[in-house]
Structure 1
Amino acid sequence: MRILQINLEKGWRGGERQTLFILQGLQAAGHSVGLAARCGGPLAKRAKEAGIPILPCRGTADLLRALWRVRASFDVMHAQTAQAMTVLAVLRPVLKAALVFTRRTAFQSGGRPWRQRWKWARADALVAISAAAAAAPRDLGLEVQLIPSAVQPMLPDPAQVQALRARFGLDGHRVLVTAAALSPEKDPLTLIEAVHQLRQQHPDVVCLHCGAEGAAAAGARACVDALGLQKHYLFAGFQSQVGNVLAVADVYVSSSRFEALGTSVLDACLAGLPVVATRVGGHPEILLPDRGLLVPAGDAAHLAQRLAWVLDHRDAAREMAERAQAHVRQEYSVPAMVERYLRLYRGVVSN
């Protein structure tokens, strides 16, 4: 099959990582692939390094022109973002390919519901990465197939791990790690308060917060200063080698208020870490019934209590982490995800 993936995001986050995984898996299976991506963006750069043909686009207008040029060149066009699906919906009458859209967010869609339904219904197949991401289109009466995101093992570099420990003074501490942008939906303020409470009985705890700057950054730093946590809540910035970060951790924690799935939680599970996360989005799908600990979003006291349990019950926490690791290896592998998409593609092309 000839399959075009479409993703014009400017940065590198979970959706871009999944787009590259799909492209590499399809290519390895012998299919002809292409990528419409933003000029000079990290996704285009990494895909090019992997030998994947690129349709470079500066924005929506470029994408419209590019898709018009290749309208008869692909069997499947797969939109990986809402923006890309909008363009495909507009061009639907002239495109020869089957259209697929993967919804990677769990936010309620803004605007008028009939407009969202019209757009999503232009796809021959609508995919969601979790039940939470599928809820909005299902509420509009649309059929949705669940294909969760995937993760790959990320082997740490011992020298870089030691450098991280030295840089942040982690030796002699029990380390919590979170990987999340400093944005409101990730709710760093609740995690900071939870760490403050946790340290009352566990003074050796340090939290390493890895993630890009965002709208909540100033408030988070001010909260750390106000609570006197400067040596115990450390901002590490965006870390490209997540495996090294997970290797310094005793526990992984997510305080997000919204998550479509939670690939950072998947990464932590695959690395064998016990996980404490909010009961939102896809977190329950990953961690229930007995693969992790869940807490209500925004509840710092409950979050602190669950983190304390993990620190105080090392053997039970390790067994919990081992169950999660085995589950993620089986259900969230890249080959499993690619095979699910291939079955979907074959179905829409044959119809």
Structure 2
Amino acid sequence: MRILHLNLEKGWRGGERQTLFTLQGLRAAGHQVALAARAGGPLAQRAEAAGIRVFPCSGSLALARLLLAQRRSHDVIHAQTAQAMSLLAFLRPVLRAALVFTRRTAFDAPDRVRRQRWKWGRADALVAISQAAAAAPRACGLSAIVIPSAVEPQQADPARVEALRRQFGLTGRRVLVTAAALSPEKDPLTLIEAVHRLRADHPDVICLHCGADGAAADAARARVLALGLQDHYRFAGFQGNVGDCLALADVYVSSSRFEALGTSVLDACLAGLPVVATDVGGHREILDPDRGLLAPAGDDSAIARRVAWVLDHADAARVMGQRAQAHVAQAYSVPAMVAAYQQLYGRLLRA
């Protein structure tokens, strides 16, 4: 099969990693793959380094020109972002390929869902990365296939791990790690308040927050200063290899208010870490019933109590982490994800 994936995101987050995983797996299975990606962006650079053909695009207009020029060159065109699917929906009448859209979000205002229905319905197959991400399309009468995102073990670089330990003063501390952009939907302010509560009974605790700046960055840094948490909450910025940060952790924490799946939680589970996460979206699917601890979104007190339990019950928490590790290794593997997409593409082309 000749397969073109579309992803013009400027950064490197879960969706971009999944795009690259899928392309690499499809190519290994013998298919001809290509990628339209943001010119000069991290996805384009990593795909090129992996030997994948990349069509660099500066924006939606450039992508539209590419799709028109390539409309007879591909059997499947797969939009990995909502922006790309919007473009495919408008170009649907002139495109000969089967169109696939992978939905990676689970926050839906009712009026927005109604507006999105037309666009979603233009795809020949709508894929959701979790049951939570599938809920909105199904609620408006569309079929959605669930193909979960996948993770691979993130190998840590010992030298980099030690450098981070020294840089952020982690020696002799019990370390919470979160990997999330400083954006409102990731809710760093609630996590900061939880750490503030924790330090009263666990004065050796420290949170290492790995993630790029976003719209909540200024408020998060200001709150750390206001609470005098500088010795208990450190901003590490974006880290290219999350495995280095996970190697430092005693517990992984996610305070997201919305999460279609949560690949950072998957990474932590695959590393065998005990996880405390908010009871939203895909977190529930990953951690229920006994593979992690869930807390209500926005409830810093509940998050603090659950992290305290992990810190105070190390043996039981370790067993919990091992259960999650075994589950994620089986249910969220890259080969399983790639095989599911390969089967989907084949069904569309045979139809």
Place the TM-score, normalised by the shorter chain, in its bin.
over 0.9
Deviation at 1:218, TM superposition (A): 1.1
Give the aligned partner of residue 125 of structure 2.
125
Q: Which residue of 2 aligns with 1:272?
A: 272
Mapped to 1, the partners of 2:62 and 2:177 lie a distance apart of 40
Greater shift in the superposed pair: 106-115 or 170-179: 106-115
Corresponding residue number in structure 2 for 1:227: 227
Distance 1:310 1:160 in 2: 26
Contact map agreement 2:113 2:136 (CA 8 A) in 1: no
Give me the identity figure in percent.
Answer: 73
- 1:116 Cα offset (Å): 1.5
Partners of 2:69 and 2:43 in 1: CA distance? 22
Matches within 5 A, 1:49-68: 49-68=49-68
Distance in 1 (CA, whole Å) between partners of 2:111 and 2:58 is: 26
Looking at structure 1, the residues matched to 194 and 214 of structure 2 have their Cα atoms a distance apart, in angstroms, of: 20
Which amino acid letter does the alignment assign opposite residue 187 of structure 1? D
User: Residue 33 of structure 2 contacts residue 53 of structure 2 at CA under 8 Å; is this kept in 1?
Assistant: yes
Question: 1:38 is matched with which residue?
Answer: 38
Q: Which runs of 5+ in 2 are unaligned?
A: none
Q: Letter of the aligned partner of 1:160 in structure 2?
A: R
Q: What residue is the counterpart of 1:167 in the other structure?
A: 167
| TM-score of the aligned structures, taking structure 2 as reference length | 0.98
Give distance in 1, aligned partners of 2:111 and 2:318.
45
Question: What's the secondary structure of 1:4's corresponding residue?
Answer: strand
Residue 115 of structure 1: CA displacement?
3.6
Q: CA RMSD in A?
A: 1.0
Displacement after TM superposition at 1:83 (Å): 0.8
Partner residue, 2:334: 334
Q: Which residue is 2:206 aligned to?
A: 206
Kindly provide the CA deviation profile for residues 78-102 of structure 1, in whole angstroms up to 9, marking residues without a partner as x. Answer: 0000111111111111111100000
Residues 7-46 of structure 1 mapped to structure 2, 5 A cutoff: 7-46=7-46
Q: Distance in 2 between matches of 1:72 and 1:49?
A: 27
Tell me the residue number matched to 1:139. 139
Mapped contact 2:72–2:96 kept (Cα < 8 A): yes
Given that 1:105 and 1:133 are in contact with CA atoms closer than 8 Å, whether structure 2 keeps it comes out as yes
**Partner of 1:218 in structure 2?**
218
Distance 2:324 2:266 in 1: 9
Name stretches of at least 5 consecutive residues in structure 1 with no aligned partner. Answer: none
Displacement of 1:109: 5.4
User: Separation in 2 of the partners of 1:111 and 1:197?
Assistant: 38
User: Aligned partners of 2:286 and 2:102: how far apart in 1?
Assistant: 19
User: Counterpart of 1:249 in 2: which secondary structure?
Assistant: coil
Q: 1:266-318 CA distances to partner (integer Å, 9 max, x unpaired)?
A: 00000110000000110010000100000000001111100000001011000
Deviations 1:219-264 (A, max 9, x none): 1111111111111101111111111100000000000001110000
Say if 1:109 and 1:136, in contact at 8 Å, map to a contact too: no
Q: 1:136 and 1:243, CA in 2 relative to 1: closer, same or farther beyond 3 A?
A: same
